[in-house]
Structure 1
Amino acid sequence: MSPPDPISLMCLAPEPQCRDVLALRLSADLANLLNFDKGLPDGIKTRKGAPLETSETILSFTRDWCQKKSAMYFAIVLHKRQAIGSISLSHLNSYNRSAQCGYWIGSAFQGQGYGTGAFSKVLTISRELGLRQLSATIQTANVASKRIWQNAGASFQYGESEIRATIVFS
């Protein structure tokens, strides 16, 4: 018997799939990571001098972002207790049956397979939604992210500083 999967996804937006108390707690975990995790890239962590994120600002931003980007936003939850990052499906297009995927993991949780686990769950959700294609833009230096997509069977288009990863579902 294999141990239970340590990773689960909890949809926080456009509508939380959990009680408000849990959504606020998971959003507070994400806010703490964004505010204080010095290992996150500049484009993700809270900008120096900017107001600190709170659970309320996280939920408000993600709900607005999901409406603007036709998206679903999930907390990546470790052992059903702690949000360690987020993953999203955006630009959901029912006509083309396509979407884009983006994610980040707190630096203390990187390199432990949690990104791979979360991505695997998003691939399942993508198939359940009837998507034919999932894509992402990956920074060339982000070797771990490229490996996640490569292991999932993605094809790649290379630019100067970015890689376009695409998975076509059969």
Structure 2
Amino acid sequence: MPWRPMTALDLNQVQSLADAIHVSHPEDPEVLAERQHLYPEGCFMLVEDERAIGYALTHPWRFAEPPPLNRLLGAVPSPATTYYIHDVALLPIARGKGYAAQLTDRLVAHSREAGFDNLSLVAVNKSQVFWEKAGFRVVAVPDLGPKLASYGPDAALMVRDAASL
């Protein structure tokens, strides 16, 4: 599998990928580095032919309270109530090859092993259809609308039971 654990040495490549892929959702280098530092077992690089073509940042969090974009977390909460998928980013050349589905399977397995009942994320950039195929469903949470709007006009909070599928 071309996904491998991310290390601190990968962060310059992660920043370059993030800047190229998430033009509408920029994040500072400190934010990306903190995610990798706080929960390295949830951070991955996608490498094909020795070239970084994607990355993923995930960590435990509080369900229905997605962290604001481009903000430091400070710490992983205890107790955490969800395994949160902060970002799965692939260059166009990596899309359509099954890499995101491979990673999703790995994240679901990790969430189960870590004892989480669910995984959650905020779908952006028309990714909701992909996440629905991966077993996620949109969940409505009262008063979350303004925070979701900061992620973009099509943002949707999604959840998946860790035991499903």
Q: TM-score, normalised by structure 1?
A: 0.61
1:42 pairs, out of 15, 23, 31, with 23
Shift of 1:155: 1.9
Tell me the residue number matched to 2:133. Answer: 151
Per-residue CA distance 1:63-121 (angstroms, 9 max, x = gap): 43456xx5445232235833222112232555354121021112221222212222221
C-alpha contact (below 8 Å) 2:36/2:57 kept by paired residues = no
Q: CA RMSD in A?
A: 3.1
Tell me the residue number matched to 2:66. Answer: none
Give the 3 Å change call, closer, same or farther, for CA 103–122 of structure 1 in structure 2.
Answer: same
Per-residue CA distance 1:128-150 (angstroms, 9 max, x = gap): 211111101112x51xx323322
Residues 1:166 and 2:141 aligned together: no
Letter in 2 for 1:11: M
Give the 3 Å change call, closer, same or farther, for CA 82–45 of structure 1 in structure 2.
Answer: farther
Superposition pairs for residues 47-86 of structure 1, below 5 Å? Answer: 61-66=31-36, 71-72=39-40, 73-79=42-48, 81-86=50-55
Letter in 2 for 1:64: E
SS at match of 2:109: helix
Percent identity at matched positions? Answer: 16
Shift of 1:161: 2.6
Give the 3 Å change call, closer, same or farther, for CA 45–110 of structure 1 in structure 2.
Answer: farther
Which has the larger strand fraction? Answer: 1
Tell me the residue number matched to 1:19. Answer: none
C-alpha contact (below 8 Å) 2:15/2:32 kept by paired residues = no
C-alpha contact (below 8 Å) 2:4/2:45 kept by paired residues = yes
Tell me the residue number matched to 2:79. Answer: 95
In structure 1, runs of 5+ residues without a counterpart are 13-22, 48-57
Give the 3 Å change call, closer, same or farther, for CA 81–130 of structure 1 in structure 2.
Answer: farther
Tell me the residue number matched to 1:129. Answer: 114
Counterparts of 1:152 and 1:119 in 2: how far apart (Å)?
A: 7
- Larger Rg computed on CA atoms: 1
Tell me the residue number matched to 1:8. Answer: 3
